Amino acid sequence: MLRLVDLVKQYKTGDKALKHVNLEVPNGQVMALIGPSGAGKSTLIRCVNRLVEPTSGKIYLGDKELTSLSQGALRKARRRMGMIFQEYALVERLTVMENVLSGRLGYVPFWRSYFRKFPQSDIDEAFRLLARVGLDHMVDKRADELSGGQRQRVGICRALIQNPELLLVDEPTASLDPKTSRQIMRLICELCKERGLAAIINIHDVLLAQMFAERIVGLQLGEIVYDGPPDGLSPDVLTQIYGEEDWEATIAKVEDEDDEDEEAAVP
């Protein structure tokens, strides 16, 4: 599905954010990318849809090589990758519906999008998605009137209406409370299952990553230092990723608790 070959990103300041990263994400796999701040997680997923231009290396989405695409071809390729952002990144002064429909911009010509005359099938799909995340009664609310969790749901709809094959998810829970965080993570993973989507989820919260992802990749200073199943995260591995700390309390003992017992894993 997605294959990164020898991916390097060096910023103008000289910082090497990614050092020869090789990674393959098969169809339908939900993968969590963990690592300390500045490890290159954000850079990695932004390189995939070239919001950040990689310095060297190759990125294959299916058979398509992305780093050499022209602007027009890149736009077409971006339609196949939905992105969900840390601070939701909804356009605040647009309505919920406009934000969701903006996920179709790659498919509709300019004037149709300008007059907000989207095809009926897009509008049907938008209502279906909004109903799925429980927001179909808020279509005409402005995005900045919603709560954090609601905004992230709209962000999810915007990514999914692209009809993507891959989700790039950048810290989806970073500005949410613990309960909403779990709900959002669960929703993302359920939707990936329903639609057979692969996903790369950047996440700070190791516990959430273990609860919801099938595979965990640990990034440290631009290099992959762990790649394996969630239960393979031992204190040693976490020390390797994040540095020395008492990790016993962080490692999940249970699979997926109910929403009610938030503190369960933190003794």
The residues that touch another protein, with contacts defined as CB under 8 A, are 49, 51, 75-79, 81, 83, 85-87, 89-94, 98, 102-107, 110, 113-114, 155, 158, 162, 168
What CA–CA distance (Å, rounded) separates 138 from 120? 19
Using alpha carbons only, what angle is made at residue 23 by residues 54 and 38, rounded to the nearest 5 degrees? 55
One-letter amino acid at 159 equals A
Q: H-helix or E-strand containing 158?
A: helix 148-160
Least gap, CB of 7 to another protein (angstroms): 18
Q: Which is nearer to another protein, 129 or 238 (CB)?
A: 129
Q: Which is nearer to another protein, 91 or 254 (CB)?
A: 91
Chain-centre distance for alpha carbon 105:
19
* DSSP type of residue 85: -
| Residues 70 and 119: beta-carbon distance below 8 Å | no
Least gap, CB of 165 to another protein (angstroms): 13
Q: Which is nearer to another protein, 52 or 221 (CB)?
A: 52
One-letter amino acid at 249 equals A
Q: Which is nearer to another protein, 154 or 211 (CB)?
A: 154
